[in-house]
Chain A
Amino acid sequence: MLSGEETVEGRVESHLSVISARKNLNAFLSVFNDEALMSARDVDRKIKNGSAGPLAGMVIAVKDVLCMTGKITTCGSKMLQNFESIYDATVIRKLKEADAVFIGKTNMDEFAMGSSGENSAYGATKHPIDETRVPGGSSSGSCVAVAAGMSTASLGTDTGGSIRQPAGLCGIVGLKPTYGRVSRYGLVAFASSFDQIGPFTNSVRDAAAILQVIAGKDENDSTSADIPVPDYASKMNRSVNGLKIGLPKEYFSDALNPEIRSVLQAKIDALKKAGAKIVEVSLPNSEYTVSTYYILATAEASSNLARYDGARYGYRSPHSTDLQSMYVRSRSEGFGDEVKRRIMLGTYVLSSGYYDAYYRKAQQVRRLIQNDFVNAFKEVDCLLTPISPTSAFKLGEKMDDPLQMYLNDIYTVSANLAGIPGISIPAGTDKNGLPVGVQLLGKQFDEATILKVGDFLETVN
């Protein structure tokens, strides 16, 4: 992972200088200057004596929703402004053991709720190419850290597209593994049946190297799957000959932005030329994905976020007079607008009289959406789709219209509803020079195929 005379310490120094030079991007909430340099020197010593782990040389930024012992974990919220984690998330422990170095924790939409990075209590993250635009979200800071050269790689979380969408908008690689592939222990919960942790990187090979380390069963997360983790690197042979790749016709309707369509078409042509078989498939319930997702995810959020009551940790309002007012005021003062909106929506769809009409109905449609994918994967090895309806939009553009913001997730939420893996690969730029990405979706626990196709696509210009 290091070239020539490069040292890990030198790499950390150069990332730190970019972090300070581009402070205005607001990508980091905390930076581990001295600590990162110290760990880097340790890893350099290990490299010299031949005992370094598989991720030696990797300098990693961490979305501020993952716990690291002794570090503040804000979740981008005033609610957790001073919350100090008392244990390491499983992904953090595994990365440490593999000799990755941590450089800091990154900005994000509050509690991972948002598609633009604007919902942080600590200010919006800015797009590294055009600072008047959003970098996407919710893993805004982790994405910008890699895109701007502030870290070699980073960790994000993806509940409805929060890794893939920013990666697409910023022109880097972002991988959401299968639900259950990576332990969620130490990840502050948003929607527990959707949340997954995954890497942002500059190359598919780096993403595969990180997944190799963080994947697997964990006794601290009962939803992590006890399914063997294959050797991803050995599968990436840059050949797509004979692979069947599906284009869901609902994702390529007339509504698709023509610039995005033409960028994608170039990649599709390259795959064809290399011997892949391109097949049109149908995911008939695609139009229902956003509704289904926002009913179920907000319902889960309203339950998960009930824990922030001002009693045991987190913000407590100084204006509390009794127990009830402590709950109400701490929550009302500690949460931002979007978080409150989602708690309210989730409470509504779960409330008496509406549960069957919204929550149960959405769970049924979720099964139909998953069945669509199961059927499509009977015909093809993976799917190729757009990631977002547009390239990076302007800061403030969608802030007053939550429904428009939610509709921005139209191509990404399906993977979380079905529990399948997805990856964003840079594919080109639009007329403004803004990145456009392509999304590959795979069968459950078949990250190997989308990594293999993604690795091939990187070689195509």
Chain B
Amino acid sequence: MSVTIKDVEHIAKLAKLEFSDAEKEKFTHQFNDILKYMEQLNSVDTTGVEPLAQVIELKNVFRDDTVKPSTPTEEALKNAPASSDVHFKVPKVIG
């Protein structure tokens, strides 16, 4: 499976990133190197092997549904690039 510049552009779009033409070229080359190495996994027989997502085999962890203090609004807005009153401010959504 070889990756093309077009694939890199598609992935960049999904990841909400943009790159110059030179960067795209470099990424395509590096991706192919890395993915080629990763293809070694194809030689492992994983028939019937359950995927492992949680290494200490924790199942659901529940707690009581009780109200506790949460972050005050002014604290939550402290690091906002732009805010007003009780909101985060962003540029216009519809162009």
**Chain A residues near B (Cβ < 8 Å):** 82-84, 86-87, 178-180, 193, 219, 222-223, 225, 285, 287-288, 290-292, 294-295, 302, 306, 309-316, 320-323, 325-329, 331-332, 335, 340-341, 343-345, 347-348, 351, 357-358, 360-368, 370, 402-403, 406, 417-419, 444
Contacts and interface: CB of A to CB of B under 8 A. Distances in A.
Contact of B53 (A327, A351, A363, A406): A363
A106 B63 CA distance: 35
Contacts of B80: 311-313
Nearest to A291: B38
Nearest to B48: A364
A365 B41 contact: yes
Given A329-B18, A365-B49, 17 more contacts: A86-B78, A222-B61, A285-B44, A288-B44, A291-B38, A295-B41, A313-B81, A322-B92, A328-B18, A347-B15, A348-B35, A358-B41, A361-B46, A363-B51, A366-B52, A370-B55, A402-B30
Interface of B: 1, 3, 7-8, 11-12, 14-19, 27, 30-31, 33-35, 37-38, 40-42, 44, 46, 49-56, 58, 61, 63, 71, 75-76, 78-82, 88, 90-93, 95
A402 B36 CA distance: 13
Nearest to B62: A222
B37 A309 contact: no
Nearest to A312: B88
Interface SS, A side = helix
Contacts of B61: 222-223
Contacts of B18: 328-329, 332
Contacts of B56: 178-180, 223, 225, 419, 444
A297 B30 CA distance: 17
Given A331-B16, A348-B11, A362 B41 contact: yes
A403 B53 contact: no
Contact of B31 (A311, A322, A335, A348): A348
Contacts, number: 159
B11 A351 contact: yes
Which of B37, B51, B82: most chain A CB closer than 10 A? B51
Contact of B17 (A178, A193, A294, A343): A343
Contacts of B88: 311-312
A357 B44 CA distance: 12
Contact of A344 (B31, B33, B55, B81): B31
Which of A82, A323, A406, A418: most chain B CB closer than 10 A? A323
Contacts of A320: 91
Contact of A327 (B16, B42, B50, B76): B16
B14 to A, nearest CB: 5
B68 to A, nearest CB: 10
Contacts of B37: 290-291, 403
Closest 4 CB pairs of A and B: A419-B55, A363-B51, A313-B79, A316-B81
Contacts of B79: 82-84, 86, 312-314
Given A294-B34, A311-B90, A323-B90, A368 B46 contact: yes
B15 A302 contact: yes
